[in-house]
Amino acid sequence: MHNILVLGGTIEATRLVAELASAGLPCTLSYAGRVERPKPQPVPVRVGGFGGTDGLASYLREHAITHLIDATHPFAAQISRNALHAAQATGTPLLALTRPPWTASPGDNWQTVPDIPAAAAALAGPARRILLALGRMHLAAFAQAPQHHYLLRLVDPPEAPPPLPDHHIILDRGPFDAASDEALMRAHRIDLVVSKNAGGSGAQAKLIAARALGLPVLMIDRPALPARHETHEIRTTLDWLMG
């Protein structure tokens, strides 16, 4: 009998739990609680942190979880580390369902930086019009480059005004499409896109639009994670569960 815990907050997790529900495999989807109105799901949902590695390990034991699937965002490094350590501590089988990183294609003009502070540091220089597609928790790092106009695309309105003197907020959630992103960038006269290397299709539209418009992209690399059992495929995830 399966009792699967899926750590989510991504399109991949949403797709996976839809498959698990239609396959009749019991699972619970876990959200951190960052988004105010998450979309309804066909499986039970729990919301909020577990209380670190120990809290997650206790949850796995108390709920007799048979399989742990880490389908969190590649930049959510803390929960992925916690998942690995809690799985090891409890002997729970763990699989990470991840997206391959994006790679530059001909026509792309990417500058790669290792992390968000490095992206903010790379923005020293004359004022530009920047699409900063990062999520509200990362905006503070860019206060050190206040000369730019920032177009911010956020899922929820920020609780406090972003610490960026010249910004414009658009409330929207993916998946996005390249034609709309191109129109958005034209309308706002964007001349630089700052993006995390999230991978996947839902957020790739801005990169395709940047290529079409000949715009440079400041691409932030993923945080490093320890080696773990990993797949990019939902099919392989289902095989692993049935294996």
The residues of the shown chain that bind ligand NAP, judged by CB under 6 A, are: 7-10, 30-32, 34, 49-52, 55-56, 72-73, 75-79, 82, 135, 196
| Residue 55 beta carbon to ligand NAP: minimum distance, rounded to whole angstroms | 6
| Residue 161 beta carbon to ligand NAP: minimum distance, rounded to whole angstroms | 21
Nearer to ligand NAP, 117 or 135 (CB): 135
Nearer to ligand NAP, 59 or 110 (CB): 59
Are the CB atoms for 26 and 4 separated by under 8 Å? yes
Nearer to ligand NAP, 73 or 167 (CB): 73
Q: In whole angstroms, what is the distance from residue 69 CA to residue 90 CA?
A: 14
| Residue 141 beta carbon to ligand NAP: minimum distance, rounded to whole angstroms | 13
b/e per residue 120-130 (b: at least 16 CB within 10 A)? bebbeeeeebb
Please state at what angle helix 205-213 crosses helix 178-187, rounded to 10 degrees: 60
- Side-chain-side CA neighbours of 121 within 13 Å: the count stands at 8
Beta bridge partners of 217: 110, 193
| Residue 33 beta carbon to ligand NAP: minimum distance, rounded to whole angstroms | 7
| Residue 137 beta carbon to ligand NAP: minimum distance, rounded to whole angstroms | 6
Nearer to ligand NAP, 45 or 213 (CB): 45
Nearer to ligand NAP, 82 or 204 (CB): 82
Q: In whole angstroms, what is the distance from residue 183 CA to residue 193 CA?
A: 14
Bond into 161 cis (ω within 30): no
